[in-house]
């Protein structure tokens, strides 16, 4: 059950910062001997690669407009990372549990990624540059908190992940709907001001 809770929490984090979650799990397993963390995540080569990608991910997310490109690039990477972590966490018990946790991890990561990328695309069209950095810093803080909770208090992390997924998907739906309504109004305005053919 603890591995299941850890999967939900780490899945949400993977949808925002996948390399951070891999690095945090591996380092925690190595330093604190957490049984749920598979040995493969604790390998030195994997920790080094995840650490380098973590720094790149952190920097790329701070650049307005490039962050949307980075999000689009990671539409596949983040759910795969969440699913892989879930599979590895569940693989200690049985193949069926591993598959179920892989699906849960991938779904949580995809939900978090959808909310993140939609919100960041909306922020990027704002006229001032400060909001992008503030939102990114807020994401970093949330990821750090959720990552630590996923390792230390998996049950709390799982509950928070479910709440954040629900709120994030609702926000993404509202932003998408607002954008669609805005486009419709712009089309109507253009049609009203278009010259009438003689």
pLDDT in tens, 63-110: 888 888 999 999 999 999 999 999 999 987 788 989 999 999 999 999
pLDDT-based confidence at 153, cuts 50/70/90?
Answer: very high
Residues 6 or more apart whose CB falls under 8 angstroms from that of 93 comprise 3
Q: Average pLDDT, stretch 160-185? A: 86
Burial status of residue 147 (CB atoms within 10 A of its CB: 0-12, 13-18, 19 or more): buried
pLDDT tens sequence across 58-76: 999 888 888 889 999 999 9
pLDDT tens digits along 37-50: 999 999 999 999 99
Two structure tokens written together for 175: 């932003």
Q: How many CA atoms lie within 13 A of 48 on its CB side?
A: 3
Kind and range of the H or E run holding 189: helix 154-193
pLDDT at 57: 95
* pLDDT for residue 179 is more than 90: no
């Amino acid at each position: 059950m603890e591995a299941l809770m850890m999967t939900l929490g780490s899945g949400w984090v993977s949808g925002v910062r996948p390399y951070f979650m891999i690095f945090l799990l591996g380092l925690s397993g190595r330093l604190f001997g957490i049984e749920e963390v598979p040995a493969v995540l604790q390998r030195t080569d994997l920790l080094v690669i995840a650490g380098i990608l973590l720094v790149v991910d952190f920097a790329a997310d701070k650049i307005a407009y490039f962050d949307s490109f980075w999000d689009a690039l990671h539409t596949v990477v983040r759910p795969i990372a969440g699913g892989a972590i879930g599979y590895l966490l569940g693989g200690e018990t049985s193949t069926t549990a591993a598959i179920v946790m892989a699906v849960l991890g991938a779904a949580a990561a995809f939900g978090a990624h959808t909310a993140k990328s939609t919100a960041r695309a909306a922020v990027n069209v704002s006229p001032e540059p400060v909001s992008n950095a503030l939102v990114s810093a807020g994401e970093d803080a949330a990821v750090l908190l959720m990552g630590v909770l996923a390792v230390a208090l998996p049950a709390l992390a799982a509950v928070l992940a479910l709440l954040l997924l629900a709120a994030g998907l609702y926000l993404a739906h509202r932003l998408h709907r607002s954008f669609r309504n805005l486009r419709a109004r712009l089309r109507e305005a253009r049609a009203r001001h278009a010259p009438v053919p003689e």
